[in-house]
Amino acid sequence: MNRNLSKLLLAGAALAFVAPALAGSFTVLHTFKGGKDGAMPIAAMTSDGQGNFYGTTRNGGSSRCDGHGCGTVFRLGPDGGFTIVHAFRGDSDGANPYAPLTLGTDGAFYGTTQNGGASSNGGTVFRLTSDGQKKRLYSFLCAPDACVPEGRVALDASGNIYGTSVIGGQFDAGAIFKVSPDGTEKVLHSFKGGDDGSFPTVGLILGSDGNLYGATLNGGAGCSSCGTVFEIAPTGEETILYAFLPTGGDGRGPAGDLAMDGAGNLYGTTVLGGANNLGAIFKITTARVETILHSFGGPANNDGAYPEAGVLLDGPNLYGTTTDSPLAGGTVYRLKSDGTESILHLFNGQKKGAYPQAALITDGLGNLYGTAPNGGATNRHCGSEGCGTVFRLPQK
């Protein structure tokens, strides 16, 4: 499990198993080499609507940032061609992007870096065009400002950027921020911990009602490490929609981005909790009723465990990844509306990748795409753990 998540969590019955997809249906599209090529693709990729996928690597690129590289933005073309669009330089340019990119209506991508910035090491918000023209929009100052953004940003119709930071804010327990197109930043909400929640590692999604939805890894009513799901208006009014419970097989520690269906119901994962304390998939209705759709059973039950990524909602099915599995390298799974879970792929921690932590995306043609931050070829930059991969596999 991700070290940051395990620290923040303060630690605390599988359904039917279906055999993985047949060999040969899983394809590695790119193996990262480290150095200029990038390394450790933690985040999900984003489609530009023209057949290209854009993603980030936390390390690699330049030789700066203690020699590990400050991270990159890459493009994967429909023909499999791979291009580094931007290599972060650290300092004022930003360093170590952790979150996926968001495509704006202007055709540019918007994102954040965990570290770097002009005035501190609290991270940045940036705009990047497909030809590599990058502009830093804001540098975080840390408490009482936001600090260390890890989640995907959301954009409204006016071009305002909304996001979360895992720490910072007035109480240094995380914050929700807004950055206007001219670079003006405002903290909309500072998490207080306790009932209000703390440490929002999850990005924001914009609902059809114009409000934003997200989750905190910790906090909640009566449980310091269970987490919450919240709604926040663009003006800053926050509402806790659900606080996870420490008992009864409820989830604990929502760690991946939420998904919303056409009726406004929310779906997500918790990295712990569920019937086996190995993670769960949940649904929260517009009436604030929560249901556990699946409790992961772990390797002992031929299932995955520790779903750090959020879910992809595609039609009636949910797709996602776990970081542990019977082969110890993680899984890609599908959950049907009838509650049947199928393991579509088992990672073995070797050349095909290992420990996927990012949500999946689809090309609309029946294929899933994702990233694994480890695995791939052994090399001098990443050693035997590998620098990660980009992969594709069928949805069926």
Q: What total of structural domains would you count in the chain?
A: 1
SS3 assignment, position 228: strand
Residues near 66 by Cβ (< 8 Å), separated by ≥ 6? none
Q: Are 136 and 110 in contact (CB under 8 A)?
A: no
User: Has residue 289 been placed in a domain?
Assistant: yes
The tokens describing 208, both together, are 């059809």
User: Has residue 319 been placed in a domain?
Assistant: yes
pLDDT for 5: 58
pLDDT for 120: 82
Q: pLDDT tens digits, the chain, 396 residues: what are they?
A: 454 554 444 333 223 333 333 334 899 999 999 999 999 999 999 999 999 999 999 999 988 888 789 999 999 999 889 999 999 999 999 999 999 999 999 999 999 999 999 878 999 999 999 999 999 999 999 999 999 999 999 999 999 999 999 999 999 999 999 999 999 999 999 999 999 999 999 999 999 999 999 999 999 998 999 999 999 999 999 999 999 999 999 999 999 999 999 999 999 999 999 999 999 999 999 999 999 999 999 999 999 999 999 999 999 999 999 999 998 899 999 999 999 999 999 998 788 999 999 999 999 999 999 999 999 988 888 988 899 999 999 998
User: Has residue 379 been placed in a domain?
Assistant: yes
DSSP string, 286-347: TT--EEEEEE---GGGT--B---S--EEETTEEEEEESB-TTSS-EEEEE-TTS-EEEEEE-
Residue whose pair of structure tokens reads 């359904």 in the numeric block? 15
User: Has residue 204 been placed in a domain?
Assistant: no
User: Has residue 179 been placed in a domain?
Assistant: no
Residue 267 CA to residue 216 CA, distance in Å, equals 14
Global pTM? 0.93
Closest CA to 41 of 67, 66, 60, 26: 60
Q: What is the pLDDT of residues 310-335, one digit of tens each?
A: 999 999 999 999 999 998 899 999 99
Cβ-in-10-Å burial (0-12, 13-18, 19+) of 383 comes to exposed
- What DSSP element (H or E) covers 24? none
The tokens describing 84, both together, are 């580094």
Beta-sheet pairing, 212-216 with 205-206: antiparallel
Residue 348 CA to residue 233 CA, distance in Å, equals 43
pLDDT for 190: 98
What is the domain range of residue 367? 1-28+257-396
DSSP string, 128-147: E-TTS-EEEEEE---TTSEE
